[in-house]
Amino acid sequence: MEQANYIKAIFTAIFAFLSALLGVLAVPVILLVACNLIDYMTGLMASKYRAEDINSYKSIRGIFKKVSMWLLVVVGAIIDEMLLYASTTIGWKSPVAFLIACVVAMWLICNEIISILENIQDMGVKIPAFLQPLVKHIRSQVEEQINTEKIEEKDSEGE
């Protein structure tokens, strides 16, 4: 029983430290890390059903991709801090902290959830009826946005 209390105390201390360090950004970051871990695990499990082999190169690439997601949140936090500094320099106090970083984290969480659902679907597990249209809609919206950005990039390169 005492061992369980030590484990609880360790988790409480870690969460308290993260909350103190990150503030409002703590929950999105923890959710992102949880989704990263679940996506990585379901991706490994789904690889057998996709007739893909698991090798260290793909695994390392996947881990680097997850770390890059965390770095995107850090970049969002840096932008938030720059905006906060600029706004206080001109005498205006921003009412929100870590707005851009939270939006980036939530966007990444949505992408991870889509990937998790796709991995589960590839394993032959049926996704609940209400999630299937949601996944397809989110996916089409993401793809539409990417296609729009590519068209805009091509237009700007041609000028």
Percent of the chain exceeding pLDDT 70 equals 87
Q: Scanning the structure block, which residue is given the tokens 């970049």?
A: 75
The confidence score (pLDDT) of residue 29 equals: 92
The confidence score (pLDDT) of residue 159 equals: 52
pLDDT band at 107 (very low <50, low <70, confident <90, very high): confident
**∠ CA 30-59-149 to the nearest 5 degrees?**
70
Helix (H, G, I), strand (E, B) or coil at 108: helix
Give the Cα separation of 121 and 106 in Å (integer): 22
Element (H, E) at 92: none
3-state DSSP helix/strand/coil percent for the chain, to nearest 5?
Answer: 85, 0, 15
Residues in Cβ contact with 36 at an 8 Å cutoff, skipping those fewer than 6 apart = 66, 69, 112
The confidence score (pLDDT) of residue 114 equals: 86
Per-residue model confidence as pLDDT tens digits over 8-48: 999 899 888 888 888 889 899 999 999 999 999 999 999 88
Give the Cα separation of 112 and 62 in Å (integer): 12
pLDDT at 140 over 80: no
Higher pLDDT, 2 or 153: 2
The confidence score (pLDDT) of residue 156 equals: 57
Q: Is the pTM of this model over 0.85?
A: no
Residue 141 has which token pair?
Answer: 């919206």
Q: What are phi and psi of 97, to 5 degrees?
A: -115, 140
The confidence score (pLDDT) of residue 148 equals: 64
